[in-house]
Structure 1
Amino acid sequence: MRNINFQINNKGKIFYIAIAVTLILVSIVAAFVIKIYGLKGGVMPVILSFGLLFVYAVLRLPRFGVLALLVMAYFIMFIISMGFTEFPLGTIMDGMLALLVIGFFIQQKYYKNFKVFKNPVAYLILVWVVYNLIQVFNPNAASQLAWVYTIRSVAVVMLSYFIFSYYIISIKFIRTILIVWLSLAFFAALYAIKQEYIGFFPFEEWNHFDPLIQSLLFIDGHWRKNSIFSDPVAFSYNMVVCSILCLALITGPFRLRLKVFFGFLMLLFLTVMLYSGTRAAYVLLPAAGILFLVLKLNKSLFFLAIVAGLFLFVVINIPTGNVTLYRFQSAFKPNNDASYNVRKANQKKIQPYIQAHPIGGGLGATGVWGVRFAPNSFLAKFPPDSGYLRVGMELGWIGLFIICSIMFTGLYMGIKNYFNMRDPELKTYCFAMILIIFAIAVGNFPQEAIVQYPLNIFFYLFLALIQVTKVLDDKKFKEEQGVTEKKIKGLI
């Protein structure tokens, strides 16, 4: 054992010595280049060296890579919005995913574990990835280039499910992930408060003079906030998902002060969510609350649910002149909302097309890529207002069936695991993921819930945690059972 520890310590020392030597060499090279080519030229060796170190760290320390992926998923759109470079920063996320996948196969050489592929959700995700790949041959597609630009954000991102399932191997790492996630959400919430009460930075206002943007984001004399995310929808959905996480954690086996802290975060996330003006997000917490009651039904909760329901009823129906509150109320009265009625009519209009095209009109046929690569096509002119609607149009009712099956199977496995788990902490984490996936499944109907960063990455983390928590629970139970058996044998 001492020899093993000595070898590990030696490897660690060699690693840090290598970093120190590399940084010294880079500093010397950078100084030399700055002297000859100026400051800009000298920055490139520094960026390149840190990039190489980062690649090495992701491959050597995959859990660092997982955390880096989650952090970058939160900040990538914010960095892009700053516009300090013309480099396509979105490819950084693709590169990180590729590195983690490569690392996954390297690890398989030494620590074979194919169990991550052996569950219903994994099977369906593989089917989804293959189905998206063969869409390049879709005869209905107006452009193959649209497929090229869309495939990475739709199918390739799904591979992160296997990365999370493989590398999350301890309850300690789950805690670390949740702490990092809530810290990121807390920063995003504070940034939204800054936008609401202080205003936008100049780089955030570049499109505020566009009449189309104004019609979407300037409501009743008030700008909708998006915090560090791409748009108000992505911001609001992230905040409501984090509030649901906090709601579930409050029920867990944690100290009172932690539960109070989770309650504070939940109220903060729900408050800033209102700044987004996204009505679709307002109904997600009540929707998750219904499933919450079903899974944890008891007399005290039933009484609290009645009180909360009455309070919500009053808030929805009370007369108000407050723009934010009025917009919140309108979310629960969709038939009185003009935009909802337009979307409802659009969905009815496109149904015959979806029914007549089982494999859809091709990946990327709608939205930005459809307009760019096939502007005169029927689908390019049709607004993809819903995540399910987009899938139905691009991938047909077959694709729609697959994505709905993934969500349903994730919920089914989660609920089944939840009632069979023994460890209260792991059970709480599984419970949180069930509520979140259910909310996303509901939220994907009025909006595109899992298209933009960071939820397009985090959604597969949620699915993975449902299985990982059960695996860890079973492992812990077997270990405890083994210890008990040894004690019994010792007594005999």
Structure 2
Amino acid sequence: MERNLLDRTTALVQDWARYNFLIRKLNTGFGILVMVLLGIAISYLAVVIDMKLAVGVVGIMAGVLLMVLCLLYPVFGFYFTVFISLFITLPEKMLNSGVIPMGLVPEYFSYITLVGVITKQEYRKEITSRFWNHGITIWLLVIFIYHLFEFFNPEMPGKLGWFNFVRKQGSLFAFFYISYCIINSRQAIRQLVNFWIFVSLIEGLYACKQQWFGLFDFEMRWLLSDPMRIDLFINWGFTRKFGLLSDPASSGILYAACGTFLLILALREKATMRRVYYYTVSIINLLASSYSGTRTATMMIVAGIALYGVMTLYERRTILFMSFCALMLTAILVAPVYDNVIINRVRSTFEPSTDNSALVRDMNRHTVQPYIYRHPIGGGIYTCGNLGVLYNPGHYLSFFPPDSGYMQILMDQGYIGLILTLSFYFVILRTGIRHFYRVKDPEIKTQYVATLVFIFTLMAGQISQMAIPMYPSVFYMYAGFALLLKMHYFDGSEKEEKSLPA
């Protein structure tokens, strides 16, 4: 009798919980009561105990909710991970209380979304031998294994930096895996590109706002609180704009890559309204790039346009476009305008012999060359520059800033690591170029060349800056890898479209 009563009670509780939490999702009287009580409790914590505690409770609740959404809806998790990476430096700027490790947030949601993808059959079925046997995937795994091998580098005394680096690389491979899974139709490709453009618009407009209307008060306080930051951000009496990112270099690189990507889309778009939209967002990003004062960004734009010109020189519109670009560049270089800081900064890109910082970089490179020759696997992960001071203080390489993505790889991972990286980049470019010339659909062909140009601009940016590791540029790049792998499966008419195996 008691056993039957217990079973009935348990069944009633389960039915009640299923109805309130799963079916109605707390959209019931009980749910309203719970929300009211939580609101009262949080208000009490904020007023009576401590505001920070209340903010912490709200943050934990929001984190749990977002975690559940990423698990249940991996597509949401994918786009949320990219979007939140835009704002990871915002708390540090607003609080001005030192470094806040917000970079862990995109990594966390990447892993959570990966679990959501793995548990969904509709996404899991996309992963077949074609994914694992492709050159891009193989090289990503080879380089990751090499990073694991660096743990045993005798020149690297500190292992914490290695752990943080490998953890991030793991999250990026997870993001690449997720990207490949959710790109399962032409509509998914369009959705990803439209999101990419929308986020680029937000990024560019924010930097333009900083230039046209000035910085917010909290941004100015953050900038002026550090003398080294002042020296980096203010050059020639001009405050370099950094947008939503951490520094002008990272933001300028992102704006340059996105602006070039959108310029290619606009040039090849047939619909008038969409072409105007693409040109508008592209111009906003290119302006934002110039406001950042990042000379690397100017070089990236030139490199991206040059690659596009080489790949499509057989098209009449490309000849006209390249002629226009050459005319604009010549006008910027020779126009009798000498009192515009932005134009002077752009011009200095093509005058490296007069740049003192370039001379210092060359001196540093020549100084560390003997060390690099003697250490084929490098000094170890995060042993050079500021990261070397943080994770491996006193290391020989920590006294030399790399000032280049390729130089950082060479110093940290040796010439073996650099050879692996350049081989990987070759495979990426080969994949994109091969599919661009093989696909027939104009939309897919456009996406191939635009994506490849975006990736190539970041590769070019690595020559003088750490262009790739920064959020959200690195997310765009890894999503671009997935696009290069997947788009040719949908080369056909709309009627024939279907979700194809990878």
The TM-score normalised by the length of structure 2 is: 0.86
Q: Structure 1 pair 202/426, CA: closer, same or farther in 2 (3 Å)?
A: same
Aligned twin of 2:110: 97
2:79 is aligned to: 67
1:182 and 2:189 are equivalent in the alignment: no
Give the superposition deviation at 1:299.
4.2
Deviations 1:395-451 (A, max 9, x none): 111111122122221111001011111222122111111111111111111100112
Whether 1:195 and 2:213 are equivalent positions in the alignment is no
Tell me the amino acid that sits aligned with residue 175 of structure 1.
Answer: R
Alignment of 1:266-281 (within 5 A): 266-281=282-297
Aligned to 2:14: none
Q: Whole-Å Cα distance in 2 between the matches of residues 389 and 352 of structure 1?
A: 14
Once structures 1 and 2 are overlaid, which stretch shifts more, 169-178 or 449-458? Answer: 169-178
Listed as ranges, the matches of 1:282-301 within 5 Å are 282-297=298-313, 298-301=315-318
Q: Deviations over 1:230-289 (max 9, x none)?
A: 110111111111111212212435411211221122122111211111011112112111
Q: Please state if 1:314 is matched with 2:327.
A: no
445-454 or 367-376, larger mean C-alpha shift: 367-376
Q: What are the superposed Cα offsets for residues 98-155 of structure 1, whole Å, 9 maximum, x if unpaired?
A: 1122223323698432333221000000111121122222111031122123323345
1:305 aligns with 2:322: yes
Q: 1:376-398, CA deviations, whole angstroms, 9 ceiling, x for partnerless residues?
A: 11111110200001011111111
Secondary structure of 1:359 counterpart: coil
Q: CA 1:476–1:44 in structure 2 vs 1: closer, same or farther (change >3 Å)?
A: same
Match of 2:198, as an amino acid? Answer: S
Q: 1:34 to 1:13 in 2, by over 3 A?
A: closer
One-letter amino acid matched to 1:49 = M
**Contact 1:161 1:461 (8 Å CA) reproduced:** yes
Separation in 2, partners of 1:72, 1:64: 12
Amino acid at match of 1:50: A
Q: What is the SS of the residue equivalent to 1:283?
A: helix
Structure 1 residues 44-53 or 425-434, which shifts more? 44-53
Report what 1:265 is aligned to: 281
1:398 matched to 2:416? The reply is yes
**Cα distance, 1:207 vs. partner?**
3.7
CA RMSD of aligned residues (A): 2.7
Q: Is the 8 A contact 1:128 1:155 kept in 2?
A: no
Partner of 1:352: 370
> Secondary structure at the residue paired with 1:448?
coil
Find the residue that maps to 2:417 and give its secondary structure: helix
User: What SS does the aligned partner of 1:332 have?
Assistant: coil
**Equivalent residue in structure 2 for 1:255, among 265, 271, 278:** 271
My pick for the range that moved more, 289-298 or 307-316, is 307-316
Number of aligned residue pairs: give it. 470
Q: Which blocks of at least 5 consecutive residues in structure 2 are unaligned?
A: 1-17
Q: 1:12 to 1:384 in 2, by over 3 A?
A: farther
Given candidates 159, 162, 166, the residue that maps to 2:181 is 166
Which whole-Å CA distance do the structure 1 matches of 2:277 and 2:41 have between them? 51
Q: CA contact under 8 A between 1:132 and 1:155: conserved in structure 2?
A: no
Following the alignment from structure 2 to structure 1, what is the Cα–Cα distance between the partners of residues 56 and 286? 42
Matched, 1:30 2:38: yes
Q: Answer whether contact 1:417 1:470 (CA < 8 A) is retained.
A: yes
1:17 aligned partner: 24
Distance 1:184 1:110, change over 3 A: closer
Q: Is the 8 A contact 1:34 1:42 kept in 2?
A: yes
Once the two structures are overlaid, the 10-residue window that deviates more, 397-406 or 147-156, is: 147-156
| Structure 1 position 13, deviation (Å) | 11
Unaligned ranges ≥5, structure 1: 1-10, 481-492
CA contact (8 A) 1:149 1:364 kept: no
- The TM-score normalised by the length of structure 1 is 0.88
- Residues 375, 381 of structure 1: 8 Å contact kept: no
Q: Is the 1:30–1:45 contact (alpha carbons within 8 Å) kept by the matching residues of 2?
A: no
Per the alignment, residue 3 of structure 1 pairs with: none
Partner in structure 2 of residue 204 of structure 1: 219
CA contact (8 A) 1:147 1:363 kept: yes
CA contact (8 A) 2:253 2:467 kept: yes
Equivalent in the alignment of 1:106: 119
Residues 224 and 45 of structure 1, relative CA distance in 2, 3 Å threshold = closer
